[in-house]
Structure 1
């Protein structure tokens, strides 16, 4: 393994740029970029400052100067590229969904375990200092017994029937869009902070614009614009989450309230520099700075003093830094792995099944071997 980790990025869109910034912030170098075409790879390599443009994703994975493969391509390509990268002995960072089927996600998680590879899925909201503070407060029992877990994740980037891209196409993005794209982030964050796991759920999905066409303009969109989910957990809590990609004015609002018998904890990703702690006597807004947070875990991810908000890119940088720390042989706390990607795939499939049947669906807590027929999600 090289002293300076060398990375390759598959994908030339928004997320590829985010990953490139994070690679450099983590002290890595960007060896190569691959896209859908050699021309798109050449443009991206010039824009992102990569040493090379790869002829294809497969060429990038096979390069000797790539230690870590970052997969930021359309969803239906994830499983193929991740499997090839694992076989090549590379560390792998794969954008969610890890795969568009539970079977493929389970196979990748199993391969990662058998190879002993460092793998990760960017559930980056775990890396906000305020979120780590909330998790530590829960662990030491400050909120009491958590009994009501609720929130939402709202965006507006598709709040027009004319807006489209590859994510609205089930053939490229998978059968679930709003939940599979952003709902899984909220569920991962809830389970990460509270330590509770969803055991069953009931869901309703809907479309705001039935007339929206896919990115090729050939057929109406079949994936959901929003979802409403009720759930129960293994520790007796109940909860709900509302997910939407068509809520005007909400750019990227992931919000939660985790309510306990002694205190409530609330976080808003659009105002990430505070953690709200509510009690019957008084409520407090804890500033998310290294000089104001009260727990070691919170302060570890606070790079700046209070009053200097850290945002999405900062959290992504912290995530990639922890991935690279793991590649070097350390074990950072709370790193999301392919097992977490598999968990998200199971929850997504449960959402689809419940929305179609109208009933409650159990969500397995154990990662049993995939033995069901291939089910697209």
Structure 2
């Protein structure tokens, strides 16, 4: 059991890096002691803003800093592999943003390195750390909804709806061959597998590009920021804006998944519905503190996040009483804290986070969708 404060270093100080910093600061017995950015000036600005004592423009300097317990990789996708690799080779614990890498070949290499490293490893699939997702899993696994009949899921956004929406997510060298499926489809895959307790084994995917070309602004922008400029150039779009995916679980249960980053009015709209032979159960991320339980011959139920209402395994994810809404930031903190609990006690078998082995399987699902779209056939994933 670790008795000392967990000291974290964050590599990348953009939108998601700042969320990591703020989440870590909400965790008891944890602190951010170092930040790495592309320039020393950017690193210093973030360090001063968050009162972080050490700042660098090179992640290699972290390995000379005494006392670091965990490295958070919060960079654009193309840097995930190399930084996670370095951390594992130094036997460091590493918490990496998703997707784990640009390809299944890279993620396989990380799995191989992880098998020889003493460092723990995790990929941030934070939605599974919502208390009501945990409750949903318990109800499905314990057949409270009966036998699983169907699974329906969607992840719909609008932040890339206009042809002027363009940033590094459109550059294959920075994100890999997939955008929407890798970026948000990976969350849908993880939720389905986690809640059902089964792997997705087969996929049939139709990947959709709504604009052949987009307008790249010459002004720098951060993810989800609004930049309106007449100074742009048209760039050919190489990755998908949306996807329609059908899939199968290990027991043959059929799954449908809708992915979109171009649907107006949907900001971060995730929905998962498990249809059972007794009742259905639905979770919606934009109403994260409740479950919708659908009945056939009596009134439907609305189950709120409160320790009185949920199973014992879900209770530890609750920090607030009923009526105090929980949401995205709470699940994000829970995701990191689950990994930190493993760092403190490696023998704790109750913990359930996405390690690099699970992250590698998600990469195989993403590539299977790409292959299915090309061949218009079902692709089996092993």
- Is TM (by shorter chain) over 0.5? yes
2:279 is the counterpart of 1:278: no
Residue 338 of structure 1 is matched in structure 2 by 356
Once the two structures are TM-superposed, the CA of residue 303 in structure 1 deviates from its matched residue by: 1.0
What secondary structure sits across from 1:270 in the alignment? helix
Q: Which runs of 5+ in 2 are unaligned?
A: 219-232
What secondary structure sits across from 2:154 in the alignment? strand
2:371 is the counterpart of 1:353: yes
Once the two structures are TM-superposed, the CA of residue 215 in structure 1 deviates from its matched residue by: 6.8
Cα deviation code 1:61-96 (max 9, x no counterpart): 442232200000010111100010111121000001
For residues 345 and 230 of structure 1, the distance between their equivalents in structure 2, rounded to whole angstroms, comes to 17
Residue 113 of structure 1 is matched in structure 2 by 115
Relative distance call for 1:280 and 1:36 in structure 2 (3 A) is same
For residues 351 and 19 of structure 2, the distance between their equivalents in structure 1, rounded to whole angstroms, comes to 22
Q: How does 1:1-377 map to 2 (within 5 A)?
A: 3-26=4-27, 27-213=29-215, 217=233, 219-281=235-297, 282-291=299-308, 293-330=309-346, 331=348, 332-364=350-382
Please, which moves more after superposition, 223-232 or 321-330? Answer: 321-330
Once the two structures are TM-superposed, the CA of residue 297 in structure 1 deviates from its matched residue by: 1.9
Aligned residues: 363
For residues 169 and 215 of structure 1, the distance between their equivalents in structure 2, rounded to whole angstroms, comes to 14
For residues 60 and 174 of structure 1, the distance between their equivalents in structure 2, rounded to whole angstroms, comes to 27
TM (normalized to structure 1)? 0.93
Residue 227 of structure 2 is matched in structure 1 by none
For residues 195 and 240 of structure 1, the distance between their equivalents in structure 2, rounded to whole angstroms, comes to 17
Please, which moves more after superposition, 106-115 or 350-359? Answer: 106-115
What secondary structure sits across from 1:212 in the alignment? strand
| Contact map agreement 1:97 1:341 (CA 8 A) in 2 | yes
| Contact map agreement 2:32 2:52 (CA 8 A) in 1 | yes
For residues 268 and 2 of structure 1, the distance between their equivalents in structure 2, rounded to whole angstroms, comes to 37
TM (normalized to structure 2)? 0.92
| Contact map agreement 1:45 1:51 (CA 8 A) in 2 | yes
Once the two structures are TM-superposed, the CA of residue 218 in structure 1 deviates from its matched residue by: 6.6
For residues 239 and 279 of structure 1, the distance between their equivalents in structure 2, rounded to whole angstroms, comes to 21
For residues 217 and 250 of structure 2, the distance between their equivalents in structure 1, rounded to whole angstroms, comes to 40
RMSD: 1.5
Once the two structures are TM-superposed, the CA of residue 113 in structure 1 deviates from its matched residue by: 2.4
